[in-house]
Each structure stands twice: as structure tokens, then as C-alpha cells.
Amino acid sequence: MRLPERTGDQLRIGVAVTVPEPWGSELRAARSRYGDPLADFIPPHITLLGPTVVEPEEMAEVEEHLTKAAARHTPFVVRLRGTATFRPVSPVVFVELADGAEGCAALERSVRTGVLDQELRFDYHPHVTVAHEVPDDRLDAAAAGLADFEAAFVVTEFHSYLHGDDGVWRPVRDFALDLGSAPVGLLTSDDASDADAGAVRPT
């Protein structure tokens, strides 16, 4: 992963929807199982803003911006299902969003404005990485091993992340969506049962 350089006391931040438990631990364990050394450094997430360098004195403005961006959106359902890859462009295998991609894209557009405005190298494609820059056989194994993975959850917030000197990305602050509105794409009774039980289909 190429990270933007920082100098002095600059901070390297990111913004993401964090995959909640129990699925976060399940996907982290899978990423480790397929040999990705970043499994212990990056919590499973859906990126809204990739690694970005800011000055410490800009953080108050960044947090105000993210608070306002979150408040412009209502909760929505994300359903993760199956796998796909960015190969041959990039050696990445990921879990796909069967539902919720439009909601994530709308959040991404709001986040990537103002003080956080920046150009993208690639078109935005919300996903949850499960293997990155590992040998092809490990990428193939991840794609096959998580092909039947499914999870569903309601996105009610997103997080700012800080990249530590130890290389670990840690959530710093949550930014709540407009919780006065009902989630778009309500969970079905089966989805709700799975979420309440902490269930995830075996991989």
C-alpha cells in the first residue's frame, strides 16, 4: 500500500465505515489466514477517504467538516455477499457490497469535499479488502474461501482513522448519520435475526 509521505508533526488520516462485530473479526481472521500481513494493522472497513496527510491545526476543521457531512445522510443497510477482484489492475480480492454501495458512494462524495477535497486515482468502488498484494494462489484462495460469505448491518455512523507510528490504523472518532430518519433498505426478518444472533455463514 502506497501511503502519502508526511513530515514533521503532520498526521496521516483516513475515513471509513467500520465493519461491525462479529463480521469484523471474521474478516480480519480471514485476511490473516490468506497471508496478508496487513490483517493486524487495518480493521475491516469500507473506505470513504483513503490515506490523507493533514496538518495538526487542520484537524478541528476536518472534524467539523465530517460532522456536517455525516448529518446530511440517513442510515442505510449494507449487505456483504461474495467476492470479486481488482486483478489484473491491482492484486486485491475483496468482499462485495450486494446492497449499500449507493449509500457509501453518497457518503464518499460528501466526505471528499471542502478541506478534504482531492482527486481519485481510480473511480470509487466501495468494498471490503480481504487480501492485498499476496501471491496469486493466496488471492485465489481468498476469493474461493469467502465466496459464500454474507453479512448485513445498518450503517449509522462512519469513523475517522489515524495511522500510528507502529503502522496500525485506529478509529479515532465516530460521526453519526441523521439518526432521526429510518434506514434506507430495511433489514429483512432473516437479516435482523442473523444480526441479533451474531451469525455469519461459515467460510
Domain ranges within the chain, ordered by starting residue: 11-197
> Among 8-22, 26-40, 69-83, 173-187, which stretch is predicted with the lowest mean pLDDT?
173-187
Residue range 134-167, pLDDT digits in tens = 999 999 999 999 999 999 999 999 999 999 999 9
Fold of 11-197: Cyclic Phosphodiesterase; Chain: A, (3.90.1140)
Instruction: Please state whether 171 falls in left (phi above 0), alpha (psi between -120 and 50) or beta.
Output: beta
Residue range 30-63, pLDDT digits in tens = 999 999 999 999 999 999 999 999 999 999 999 9
Long-range contact pairs involving 18-24 (C-beta distance under 8 Å, separation at least 24): 18/43, 18/44, 18/45, 18/158, 18/159, 18/171, 19/43, 19/44, 19/45, 19/46, 19/80, 19/128, 19/151, 19/153, 20/153, 21/198, 22/198, 22/200, 23/80, 23/151, 23/153, 23/200
